[in-house]
Structure 1
Amino acid sequence: MENQFIDVGAIRTRYLEAGSGGVPVVFVHGGTIGDANSASSADDFLPLIQACSATRRAISVDRLGHGYTDNPPEDDLEGWTMDGSVKHFIRFLEVMNAGQRARKIRLHHPPAGCRYRHRLHRRKR
């Protein structure tokens, strides 16, 4: 599976994608830089992407500042926070046209802020 990149705002964002049709499944890793107990990049979901891609579109993304996705600009104070990371992920879903259709998001060891923010965003639709 080849690396793919898309611009999300001014951030070059790396993702992996396979399959088509059905409801998209989007995988995003949790944790923070240096946390040995968390997934650290889109690559951690390769087996799941391959399994899901037989019946649907499967996407895995490197979070803001992780893997091969760019860091936020140094002067973007919010970009360096969990809130900034979640906002980047939501924009990624929108740019990929997966946000409206995605029904399952697997958060591997998600921080509490990520769970809360995602639920809040869904209620606004």
Structure 2
Amino acid sequence: MLGTPKWIEINGIRTRYFDKGAGEPIALITGGNFGSPSSASVVEIWHGNFEVLSRQYRVIAFDKLGQGHTDNPANDDYRMQAVVAHAASFLSALGLRGIHIVGQSRGAMLAARLTLECPELIRSCTLVNTGTLSPGVGLNEVELSGCPFPPVSRESQRWVFERCAYRPESIVEPLVEAGYEVLRLPKYQEAVMKMTRGGLAETLFLRQLAPLKRETLQWISDAGLGRPTQIIWGYNDHTTTLEAAVDLFQLISSRDAGASFHLINEAGHHPFHEHPAQFNAIMLEFLARLRR
């Protein structure tokens, strides 16, 4: 859906990515986390944006550490901090500077951390539908619980995608197949085993994620993100709330008077997928404004 993938080794981690276009770089970051038993987040969800944005910019979409076709973390380091370190090394290995970083859901936490920790790499930051980063408690675990299909199945993959969407019919079969292909990978099933039966989801990933969120929000409150920022939000997302989005925007805009907020109607957790033309127009206008 995004063309021919490329591969690069990052500190011993074989990493898959897609790269197209020329000019200022845009990095697209998906949500999700390694070892989710019902569904895998895949970069193919950006298929309605990748081609259009690459006509004016260089666009990179990469599989995060342990997700998609990228290797699992070494030494069972199933933490968001390891995901951030891998992503920073990946972007540096490609020699990218002045990156327009775009992160959705848990990918927005990654985008924010990269902006804060590696400001020399980042030109702007776009945050999309994220309960992980927004103040308060995210609703992913509640909204996506009770899947009626067996884990690691094509049916569970489709159910989660459709559950996240305002229009279930927007979930096309190639997207489901891309996720199901990842679910069947031995390395992904190993991650599922360690995160669920091995307990690492509760004892390591989520336990470390909570203080990281508090630290990140405090950092933003104290000093801002330090780069031009916009929030794009699907109005009908059940995995988080509009109030959480507004709270996040208030926090960011208190330190960045130029920050902007865009609300897309009849859109769920992936507004860029359900309304690609509207999302792309928002992105291109934001980037054009930065150029001016």
Tell me which interval the TM-score lies in, with the shorter structure as reference length: 0.7 to 0.9
Instruction: Structure 1: give runs of 5+ residues left out of the alignment.
Output: none
Match of residue 68 from structure 1: 69
Larger Rg: 2
Cα separation, partners in 2 of 1:90 and 1:7, compared to 1, 3 Å? same
Select the residue among 105, 118, 123 that pairs with 2:114.
Answer: 118
Evaluate the alpha carbon distance shift between residue 84 and residue 50 of structure 1 in structure 2; reply closer, same or farther with a 3 A threshold.
same
Q: CA deviation at 1:39?
A: 7.3
The CA deviation at 1:110 is 2.7
Shift of residue 35, structure 1, vs aligned partner: 7.7
Question: Structure with the greater relative contact order (CA < 8 A, sep ≥ 6): 1 or 2?
Answer: 1
Partner amino acid, structure 2, of 1:8: I
Change beyond 3 A, Cα 1:29–1:39: farther
Decide whether the 8 Å contact of 1:63 with 1:69 is kept in 2.
yes
Q: 1:124 to 1:26 in 2, by over 3 A?
A: closer
- 1:106 Cα offset (Å): 1.1
1:13-65 Cα distance to aligned partner (Å, 9 max, x none): 000111112x10000112224286x9712212122110111011000000000
* 1:7 equivalenced with 2:9 (yes/no): yes
Q: Write out aligned runs for 1:1-125 (5 A).
A: 1-21=3-23, 23-33=24-34, 34=36, 40-73=41-74, 76-77=75-76, 79-98=77-96, 100-102=97-99, 104-110=100-106, 113-123=109-119
The aligned counterpart of 2:124 is none
Q: Distance in 1 between matches of 2:108 and 2:63?
A: 19
**What's the % identity of the aligned pairs?**
29
Q: Root-mean-square deviation (CA), in Å? A: 2.4
Q: What TM-score do the two structures reach when normalised by structure 1? A: 0.81
Aligned length: 118
Structure 2: how far apart are the matches of 1:30 and 1:66?
10
Structure 2 counterpart SS, 1:80: coil
> Whose helix fraction is larger, Structure 1's or Structure 2's?
2
* Structure 2 CA distance for aligned equivalents of residues 113 and 54 of structure 1: 27
- The change in CA–CA distance for 1:111 and 1:41 in structure 2 (over 3 A counts) is closer
- Could you tell me which residue of structure 1 aligns to residue 181 of structure 2? none
- Evaluate the alpha carbon distance shift between residue 40 and residue 122 of structure 1 in structure 2; reply closer, same or farther with a 3 A threshold: same
